[in-house]
Amino acid sequence: MVVYTASLIISLFLLCSPALGGQQRQLCLKCHPSHYAGRGSCVACHRGNPNAERMNVAHYRMIAGRFAAFTLGDVPVVKEGNRLMDHYACRRCHVSGRRGNRLATPLDTLIDEKTPEEIAEAIRVPAQGMPNFRFAEKSIVAVVNAIFAGGKNAGVTQGNRPLLVHFDAEPKGQENVFTRKCGTCHRALTEKLGLLGSGDIGPNLSGLLSSHYPKTFKAGEAWTEDRLKRWLENPRKVRPQAQMLPVQLKAGEFRELVDLLLVKHGDGK
């Protein structure tokens, strides 16, 4: 009874508190001190349910403190996350901050659907087709903050979702040129046939012929059809230390390969 009365008084106080005048109720303040008060409500930065008195309900889908840094702007953690996303070229496969290929789930909409902890877990324990980057925990926190920052800047809402390219995640048989000629050493997500190849000796070639693949042809040069042709003819002419041996392709096979590696859906297209 005492507890009930006390909480009732606090609730009434919160309802009438001039500091919250006109704003929604924030029962979060029942259990927490206020912070960043001038920068919006608790739920604007942390989500959760401001009308709940029970912790588990109040914390439903909450953004915990370590994942909330992105709400403060372009802080060091977010910068580090963006650096990692560029370095590991997540946008070969995902849209983030409206930029990137749509070969896998757009990360911009993911933030509406998942909690930061779920997103962190998807990076720690990757699904089929998603590379395992073996990030340290600190890097995962940085990347998740960058994903939220990207989605926030993209202004994605439930009514404004980009199209998702669905693909069959089953590796394809021998019928395509990638699986036959590249797949023992490489993998690639493709718009046409989904995930191809099973090798990890060479880099993952998803989005190779798009602007989101690292510019690794020669220092700072992006991959093009022409450069790929030169590479396949003799990798050592491009990089003297290359381990990959020349791959002979018939003209028709090269066309088929280019067609598989091209990305038509990216950057909101």
Of residues 98-157, which lie at the interface with ligand HEC (CB under 6 A)? 104-105, 107, 110, 114, 119, 122-123, 127, 129-131, 133, 143
Q: Tell whether residue 48 is a contact of ligand HEC (CB under 6 A).
A: yes
Hey, what are 184's tokens?
């023992």
* Dihedral (CA of 111, 260, 132, 215) sign: negative
Nearer to ligand HEC, 247 or 262 (CB): 247
* x-or-dash string of contact with ligand HEC, 220-259, rule CB under 6 A: --------x--xx--x------xxx--x---------x--
| Residue of 93, 95, 111, 141 that binds ligand HEC (CB under 6 A) | 93
CB of 3 to ligand HEC, least distance (A): 11
Asked if 30 is part of the footprint of ligand HEC (rule: CB under 6 A), the reply reads: yes
Angle (CA) 140 41 2, round 5°: 105
CA distances from 253 to 75, 186, 229 (A): 48, 17, 11
Whole-number Cα distances in Å, 193 to 29, 187, 238: 52, 12, 29
58 is a contact residue toward ligand HEC (CB under 6 A): yes
Neighbour-count burial of 122, counting CB atoms closer than 10 A to its CB (0-12 exposed, 13-18 middle, 19+ buried): middle
The answer to whether 35 contacts ligand HEC (rule: CB under 6 A) is yes
Judged by CB under 6 A, the residue of 68, 111, 141, 209 near ligand HEC is 68
Q: What are phi and psi of 210, to 5 degrees?
A: -120, 165
Q: CB 172 → ligand HEC: shortest distance, Å?
A: 14
CA-closest candidate to residue 211, choices 222, 200, 199 = 222
Please pick, from the candidates 43, 222, 258, 262, the single residue that binds ligand HEC as defined by CB under 6 A. 43
**Binding ligand HEC by CB under 6 A: which of 77, 78, 82, 90?**
90
CA distances from residue 197 to 95, 181, 202 in whole angstroms, order as listed: 23, 9, 11
Interaction residues for ligand HEC, span 162-191 (CB under 6 A): 181-182, 184-186, 189
